[in-house]
Structure 1
Amino acid sequence: MTFLFRKTFIAASLSFAAISAAQAQEAVFVAPNSEVGIPTLDPIRANNLGRGTVLIFDRLVSQAADLSYHPWLAESWEEAPDGMAWTFHLKKGVTFHNGKPFDAEVVKAWLEQFKAAENAYMSEAIAEVQVIDDATVKFVMARPEPNLLYNLSSSYMSVIEPESRAALGENFGVTEAYGTGPFKLESFTIGQETVLVRNDDYKWGPPLAKNVGPAKIAKLTLREIAEDSTALLELKTGGVDLLLSVPADLTTEVEKSTNLVVLTRPGEDVYYMPINVTKAPFDDIRVREAAAKAINQEEILASVFDGVGLVADTFLISALPESHVSDSARIHYDPDRANTLLDEAGWQMGENGVRAKDGAPLKVSLWTQSDSIFRRLSEVIQAQLKAVGIEAEITTFDSSMIRDQYKTGNQQLAVRSYNWDNADIVDWFFGADRLGYPNVSMFNDPKAEELRAKAMTGSKNMEERVAHFTTYHDYVLTQFPMAPIYQPVQAVAYNKDRLLMPEEINAPGISTVAIMDMEVKE
């Protein structure tokens, strides 16, 4: 009897130890609020992607922290001297989550699907994909594309398994998703969470990570929490292990906890106020300029973001060379100019501090999203607009729903942000073929379209591309379809008792490279 009890006790202890070890390898992260409500993980179909996508799917090319390009699924590549062909040499022995092999035929089939998609512009310069052998593929170009390596390193050009995508249709990236990445999709619940499990066969991670596979985390849940303060409370109470985005106003709160750490990196975000150029009174460029120059970026940096980060005076992050526009195009706080322009446009200041014209007050809507930092920022902007006689009524939408509201085109002003580190974001948010969303400003300008085409397709090399995009960016700013506000640093917060963070992260953001090198402490 004693022997039997001892055997049972030992077995139960071993079972408990196994369960505890498995749980110790599990982690829960909170996605940035910009990713809340994404409808799909399919990189071909989406116009906004979650962090889960880059963990399910790999790219041909990886990008380092200094923005240089390095191998991934492509071991090496050569560009023809005239830019009219690229040859990529692919890694061998790579397989998708459903067991299908990755090879040159897959690359060809993937790009065929990509051409008819939301993000087709990223591959439209590729006229033909030639399969040289199983591990060699040649892109014959319709024109030179200096930005090709960036595109191939982008999450939107993550390599999917084409047969399963064709079979699943719109369910691909929702109910199932098959890539070659370090994690497999277990479940995806829109607006709530993405659950990933480790791909134990993975051994071809980007060389920028010290660990090329398998990942050290066995199971990763990416939760969507729209409210930053709620996410922080979850971190403090142990409900989650890491926040992938922490607004500047909450970093001090994080640092008060002895077991929490804030990790900051150069930012890739810009907060801005889109201005709908088709809606009165903003169909008058004088009123648009006045609204833009009523925004006091320095005050916002100090009062809303505790002085952490930088003011923004263009639409691009300042690290990009295409942000170096003419001084006259930069948008700065200038209340005297704002008041003069509104006077010239016939909007006279009333005794109540609100301007009026032909008996109608200068009242406009200011759309924002539900998380705390946007609400607080919107209230400051509301006060700054009121200071020059514009009364803005704040309308708040759930963070997961606001993109659908933009598609109606009914917005006048809004407060929003984007995360991107390439100048083609100007094309994305101000291109005339994307009105409503992502072109929240409803901007459709003939001269801008000419400059846009030249920037996107008219460059033989990177030097020309930078010059063309700088000119395009410069002109867009002079038409005031938006007001730049703020450039944050990139900040994550994590529980150091639960997670071991790599000493160095050689990538632009906290993504595949960083997560491959993270460990869960037992």
Structure 2
Amino acid sequence: MRHQTMTKLLSGTALVAALTAFVASSAFAQEAVIAFDAGELGATSYDPVTSSNLNTATSMIYDRLVEQDADQSFHPHLANSWEEASDGMSWTFKLHEGVTFHDGTAFDAQTVADWIPDYADTENAFLTAAIESVEVIDPLTVKFVMNRPEPNLLYNLGSAFMGIPSQAAVEEMGADYGVAGAVGTGPFKLERFDIGLETVLVRNDDHAWASDLSENQGVAHFERLTFREIPDQSTAFLELKTGGVDVLLGIPTDFIEVLKAEPNVTVIQMPGTGISYMPINVTAAPFDDIRVREATGLAIDQEAIVASIYKGVGAPAHNFLISSLPEATVDPALNVTHDPERAGALLDEAGWTMGDDGVRMKDGAPLEVKLFTQNGSEFTVLTQVVQAQLAAIGMKADITVFDSSTIRDEYKENRHQLAVRAYDWNNSDILDWFFSGERLGYPNVSMWNDPEGEQLNKVAMEGSANSEERIANFTAYHEYILSQHLMVPIYQPTTNLAFNADRVSVPDPVRGTRFRSQTVLDMKPAE
């Protein structure tokens, strides 16, 4: 009755204003704006099969056969169940019934059989390399016949790079697929992709096959999602406070306390799934000398960086893998720790003597190097601290800041020496991605191509009959990489997101290993 009485009192301009406010409120309630993590910027395609850089929006467009939770367990999605043969030489998957792509075509066993071969001869071929052939048993049953056991198969199938596209759409769009359009079975459809700016998605009103990681088993609560690329994190932070952004992914650790102080902002922290590190280009002098590479690693004080930049949030990184992985447990002598005295001794041994100006010299040339990083406050602040720590051992590092796309071109053209960067991946096969001799330039920024390393890589990637062997093989590969001083591990962050609680509600804890479609399905407009 009170609502009715108030309505009767409104007239003329007041009624128009009230209706306008109601329409605006309803529109806001139906749309959410999400800012990508700085590490996700620069994606140029939504084709999961061929892309080497995907972002969070990918998981809204595509579903996967399986999903991985934060505790590393695997859950059914487009596959209702699966069974591995006792010898590891075949896997049988029972598929979800009634699934359709955004273009109306059906998802079935033949879809899977047509999709798997598409990975051959792409950068992502390693994901399916162990699958010899795919057999269609019946419309909802598919069998992978393996050429070797693959203990990592479920992890691969749960990867963003194994979202399943519509074969009809891929064939129709050809080389334009992933840019002109992208068609999956996910809870949202691609409406527009402006490379480097934003991605706009609209709700898939037919979606009724969410995984059990989502409480909401129906359609999403939001009709529309806009994902924005905001390179400057300070700008993204201001937009979150003022309502231009509803959810901010990958917030820098040094922003956490500031954001928590905002009355309308809620922060969620999750276990980290990546490392900040400094790759060293082993082909560029003076880093073709392993002594100089080792000295560079010993110059970095990881504990001081965590304390000063990150206020104790997160952890120092002393090798290349996140600490929750068993392959991160290596010979302690191989972990990279701060030791400036030994760094100085190694540089002396390599012929680099300290000059009067604090910069080392050799054969009349100063120890002056290029230090690349990408834009974004967290990258630039960390790079400046690294620069100061290198100066303490007599190495002058000149910083150049690039956007995320341009810096990859610099790597591919082999114009770099040192760089500060980060990865987000919770599996030891990240070693293959960044150190395989088949990917020189990018993602193998270290430009390392070593026969023994390649052999260890092959054994780790292909020579494991079970999980125990895989752990042992990747540990051996990891230890060899560390012995060659190809990079300097720096920091293991937490994964942080923040949202404007006046506008949206994000479930806490976030299910899955990162913010993906299962969380967005449970995300609601604020009440």
Number of the residue aligned with 2:5: none
SS at match of 1:401: helix
Which AA in structure 1 matches 2:128? S
For the 8 Å contact 1:45–1:117, the answer to whether it is kept is yes
- The answer on 1:259 being equivalent to 2:267 is no
Using the alignment, how far apart are the partners of 2:471 and 2:157 within structure 1?
A: 18
Number of the residue aligned with 2:521: 516
Using the alignment, how far apart are the partners of 1:143 and 1:359 within structure 2?
A: 55
Q: How far did 1:489 drift? A: 0.4
Number of the residue aligned with 1:328: 333
Using the alignment, how far apart are the partners of 1:437 and 1:399 within structure 2?
A: 12
For the 8 Å contact 1:245–1:491, the answer to whether it is kept is yes
Number of the residue aligned with 1:175: 180
Number of the residue aligned with 1:440: 445
Which AA in structure 1 matches 2:176? N
Q: How does 1:118-137 map to 2 (within 5 A)?
A: 118-137=123-142
List per-residue Cα deviations over 1:101-155 (Å, max 9, x = no partner).
0000000111121223220110010000000010000000000000000000000
Using the alignment, how far apart are the partners of 1:165 and 1:12 within structure 2?
A: 47
Number of the residue aligned with 1:409: 414
List per-residue Cα deviations over 1:441-475 (Å, max 9, x = no partner).
00111111111000000000011001100110011
Number of the residue aligned with 1:142: 147
Q: How far did 1:329 drift? A: 1.0
Which AA in structure 2 matches 1:93? G
Number of the residue aligned with 1:429: 434
Q: How far did 1:212 drift? A: 2.1
For the 8 Å contact 1:500–1:519, the answer to whether it is kept is yes
Which AA in structure 1 matches 2:331? S
Q: How far did 1:400 drift? A: 3.4
Using the alignment, how far apart are the partners of 2:439 and 2:176 within structure 1?
A: 24
- The answer on 1:275 being equivalent to 2:280 is yes
For the 8 Å contact 1:364–1:413, the answer to whether it is kept is yes
Q: How far did 1:299 drift? A: 1.0
The two structures have a TM-score, normalised by structure 2, of 0.96
For the 8 Å contact 1:182–1:213, the answer to whether it is kept is no
List per-residue Cα deviations over 1:420-458 (Å, max 9, x = no partner).
000000100000000000000001111111110000000
Number of the residue aligned with 1:202: 207
Which AA in structure 1 matches 2:472? A
Number of the residue aligned with 1:500: 505
For the 8 Å contact 1:296–1:333, the answer to whether it is kept is yes
99, 102, 106: which is aligned to 1:97?
A: 102
- Unmatched 5+ residue regions in structure 2? 1-10
107, 113, 120: which is aligned to 1:108?
A: 113
Using the alignment, how far apart are the partners of 2:25 and 2:301 within structure 1?
A: 53
For the 8 Å contact 1:312–1:484, the answer to whether it is kept is yes
Number of the residue aligned with 2:464: 459
- The answer on 1:67 being equivalent to 2:72 is yes
- The answer on 1:21 being equivalent to 2:21 is no
- The answer on 1:345 being equivalent to 2:350 is yes
SS at match of 1:209: coil
Number of the residue aligned with 2:53: 48
Using the alignment, how far apart are the partners of 1:170 and 1:279 within structure 2?
A: 35
Q: How far did 1:364 drift? A: 0.5
Using the alignment, how far apart are the partners of 2:368 and 2:462 within structure 1?
A: 41
Number of the residue aligned with 2:84: 79
The two structures have a TM-score, normalised by structure 1, of 0.96
For the 8 Å contact 2:351–2:362, the answer to whether it is kept is yes
List per-residue Cα deviations over 1:313-346 (Å, max 9, x = no partner).
0100001011001101111111111001000001
For the 8 Å contact 2:275–2:321, the answer to whether it is kept is yes
Which AA in structure 1 matches 2:400? T
SS at match of 1:400: helix
Runs of 4+ in structure 1 displaced over 6 angstroms? 9-16
Using the alignment, how far apart are the partners of 2:379 and 2:359 within structure 1?
A: 24
For the 8 Å contact 2:65–2:76, the answer to whether it is kept is yes
Number of the residue aligned with 1:485: 490
Number of the residue aligned with 1:476: 481
For the 8 Å contact 2:268–2:508, the answer to whether it is kept is no
Q: How far did 1:506 drift? A: 2.4
- The answer on 1:376 being equivalent to 2:417 is no
Q: How far did 1:164 drift? A: 1.0
Q: How far did 1:403 drift? A: 1.4
- The answer on 1:318 being equivalent to 2:323 is yes
* 1:19–1:357 Cα change, 3 Å: closer
Q: How far did 1:245 drift? A: 1.0
Which AA in structure 1 matches 2:269? T
For the 8 Å contact 1:113–1:162, the answer to whether it is kept is no
For the 8 Å contact 2:33–2:228, the answer to whether it is kept is yes
Q: How far did 1:305 drift? A: 1.3
- Unmatched 5+ residue regions in structure 1? 1-5
Which AA in structure 1 matches 2:239? E
Count matched residues.
Answer: 518
Using the alignment, how far apart are the partners of 1:16 and 1:448 within structure 2?
A: 63
For the 8 Å contact 2:56–2:515, the answer to whether it is kept is no
Number of the residue aligned with 1:362: 367
Which AA in structure 2 matches 1:207? D
Q: How far did 1:15 drift? A: 8.9
Number of the residue aligned with 1:3: none
- Comparing 170-179 and 283-292, the one that deviates more: 170-179
Which AA in structure 1 matches 2:417? Q
